[in-house]
Amino acid sequence: MAKPDDRSDNVEKLQDAIQDTIENFREGQDYLSEHADEISGEEKAQIEAKNERRLHSIEGFREEVKDEAADAQK
């Protein structure tokens, strides 16, 4: 038998994911700032692309938090 869908801590988990992703974004930015002249153009482009994806993920997480909060108020 399948477990019931427990969404009670989804907002908390999403907020943790947002914080982790923001931290990873900042670490990527810091790395670029500190080592931009030491890394290859390809590596720089990869980090920039990854950070762009992180920004999109953060937006998606925030939308999910809004959806979960709205669902909880029903």
What mean pLDDT is reported for the chain? Answer: 92
User: Could you tell me if 61 and 18 are in contact, meaning their C-beta atoms sit under 8 angstroms apart?
Assistant: yes
pLDDT at 2: 72
Tens digits of residue pLDDT in 32-51: 999 989 999 999 999 999 99
pLDDT at 69: 84
Q: Is 13 exposed, middle or buried (0-12, 13-18, 19+ CB in 10 A)?
A: middle
Domain coordinates of the chain in residue numbers? 9-72
pLDDT at 71: 82
- Rounded to two decimals, the pTM is 0.84
